[in-house]
Amino acid sequence: MPSNREIAKNIGVFDSGIGGLTVVKELAKLLPKETIIYFGDTARVPYGNKSAATVTKYSFQNTRFLVEKDIKLMVVACNTATALSLGLLQESFPDLPIIGVIEPGVKAALKSSKNAKIGVIGTAATISSQAYNRALRQSERGVEVSVQACPLFVPLVEEGWVNKKVTKLIAEEYLAGMKRIGIDSLILGCTHYPLLKKIIGQVMGKKVKLIDSAQTVAQAVKNLLQEEKLAKTTGKGECIFFVSDVPEKFISVGQQLLGEKIQQATQIDIEKF
């Protein structure tokens, strides 16, 4: 049985920028008594156009920072970092439960799909890693997987352009092939993409189920904490934010995303880790 000290520890979450706040929002809904420590690597966003070695280096720095914040579980709320670094992180920090965003999304898509035609959109690095392809094809259903890199989506979200006409035009261009193939489930393979859910849904149509990795990973975290008897049952949770570059833009866009005021985001030198 875990001690009260272990239960009282925090949940750590990192992402390349503001996208992981979609995970934080869902975690706060499902686990309102937990304290969530969020790190957004805003100085080095996006990760999706960087090499595997660079993304892995960043992921280890982010993890070492969060470990110092007394965490009991960590979420890699970045599909690129999950695809390229999750296994190495889990090997290097064996005493810390670490959850990525790929496996929960894959499970939800396999459960959702009726015609076994599943689409995945993500950053260039996530798509080229083929992590989703491998995970989906391990299913016994004989799934047809269609993938599409959408490198412009992250900068559009980071700019706060989630309802612009240009964003819909870009989405139409990216998603045209998916529509032709006739997928019935689409994995939003980047935690920035749920912010574009409205536009993506308009482009794909109502018959296509959008799989939000933020929701699926939050549920996976809740399940694990309950299984391990590490979930807090008393007190009031809070969210504490850290960034690697000037916080003003993170606060401005982030509070629109969360639907509540962000009082403070502390800038740190992540290179020290």
The closest alpha carbon to 127, from 185, 183, 188, belongs to: 188
Contact 162, 176 (CB under 8 A): no
Contact 113, 37 (CB under 8 A): no
Task: Report how far residue 68's alpha carbon sits from residue 45's, in angstroms, rounded to the nearest whole number.
Answer: 22
Q: How many alpha carbons fall within 13 Å on the CB side of residue 36? A: 27
Contact 199, 150 (CB under 8 A): no
- Structure-token pair, residue 158: 């980071």
Q: Which of 86, 118, 190, 214 is catalytic?
A: 190
The closest alpha carbon to 11, from 32, 29, 30, 38, belongs to: 38
Active site residue 150: no
- Structure-token pair, residue 165: 């006409």
Q: Which of 36, 75, 78, 101 is catalytic?
A: 78
Contact 52, 81 (CB under 8 A): no
Task: Report how far residue 31's alpha carbon sits from residue 26's, in angstroms, rounded to the nearest whole number.
Answer: 8
Phi, psi dihedral angles at 206 (to 5 degrees):
-70, -20
Contact 177, 146 (CB under 8 A): yes
Task: Report how far residue 115's alpha carbon sits from residue 40's, in angstroms, rounded to the nearest whole number.
Answer: 37
Q: Active-site residue numbers?
A: 78, 190
